[in-house]
């Protein structure tokens, strides 16, 4: 391919992507960010990758989920939670997804724990946007995908943007540029199939859905979730107001 200087000039600063397993990928979040002109700086602290001391050369950061807990004593878990002072201090866009959101809550003084009745969210569950959420984004998906056994407390001074039935805190914003999502909008079909295979032992837990419901739900609910994610990423990383049609 011939070098195209116009394409090179159009590239935006990299977004730091933090993953937690060797074969983990940023899924649709990564795909959409690259489509929007960003490059990805992928780090895996669990495998020894360092995190940058500053995000001055990055457009923002995303910490994804993983099978570990924000309460685990692993050094890399503590390092990631403490590292969140960097985007917060520099006021850089930050997005935490599932474990990443729980880490953000914990960094801000919130607790991460399982539901009192032992229920989990593994499969598709209703999402209810709050008034503050609708002011930021008029239309939220009605159903979202989950794969977690713990939830997070809403940090002090944070705005709750969406709630759920089993776990009330589903999406929040802290300050202008820090965001947390309990649910997963980033899964490609291949990722979901892999999670269903490798996570099958969890489907007998209270409130969990069997694997077939995960894939059936994708056919019914994934299109509006994908549309929402694209708009949400533009709001987080580019400050663009959402103008999507009703889902």
Fill in the DSSP letter of residue 115.
Answer: -
| Cβ neighbours of residue 107 closer than 8 Å, sequence gap 6 or more | 81, 82, 84, 85, 88
d(CA 25, CA 29): 9
* pTM (two decimals): 0.93
pLDDT at residue 106 above 60? yes
CA distance 69 to 99: 7
pLDDT at residue number 245: 52
Is the confidence at residue 9, as pLDDT, over 80?
A: no
DSSP 246: P
Q: Is the Cβ–Cβ distance between 205 and 149 less than 8 Å?
A: yes
With pLDDT > 90 as the criterion, what percentage of the chain qualifies?
Answer: 92
pLDDT at 11: 76
Angle at 10 between CA 6 and CA 15, to 5 degrees: 150
C-alpha–C-alpha distance, residues 14 and 185, integer Å: 21
pLDDT digits (tens, 9 = 90+) for 49-97: 999 999 999 999 999 999 999 999 999 999 999 999 999 999 999 999 9
Q: What percent of the chain has pLDDT over 70?
A: 94
The pLDDT score that the predictor gives to residue 242 is: 63
């Amino acid at each position: 391919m011939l070098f195209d200087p116009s394409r090179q000039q159009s590239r935006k600063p990299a977004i730091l992507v933090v993953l937690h397993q060797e074969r983990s990928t940023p899924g649709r979040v990564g795909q959409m960010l690259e489509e929007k002109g960003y490059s990805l700086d992928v780090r895996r602290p669990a495998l020894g990758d360092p995190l940058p001391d500053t995000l001055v050369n990055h457009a923002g950061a995303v910490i994804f989920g993983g099978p570990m807990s924000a309460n685990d004593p692993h050094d890399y878990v503590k390092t990631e939670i403490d590292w969140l002072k960097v985007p917060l201090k520099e006021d850089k866009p930050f997005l935490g997804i599932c474990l990443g959101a729980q880490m953000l809550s914990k960094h801000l003084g919130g607790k991460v724990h399982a539901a009192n009745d032992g229920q989990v969210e593994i499969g598709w569950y209703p999402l209810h946007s709050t008034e503050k959420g609708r002011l930021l984004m008029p239309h939220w998906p009605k159903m979202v995908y989950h794969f977690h056994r713990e939830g997070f407390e809403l940090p002090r001074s944070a705005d709750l943007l969406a709630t759920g039935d089993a776990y009330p805190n589903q999406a929040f914003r802290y300050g202008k540029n820090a965001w947390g999502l309990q649910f997963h909008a980033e899964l490609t079909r291949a990722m979901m199939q892999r999670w269903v295979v490798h996570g099958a032992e969890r489907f007998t837990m209270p409130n969990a859905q069997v694997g077939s419901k995960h894939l059936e739900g994708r056919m019914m609910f994934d299109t509006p979730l994908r549309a929402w994610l694209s708009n949400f990423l533009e709001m987080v990383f580019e400050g663009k107001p959402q103008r999507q049609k009703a889902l």
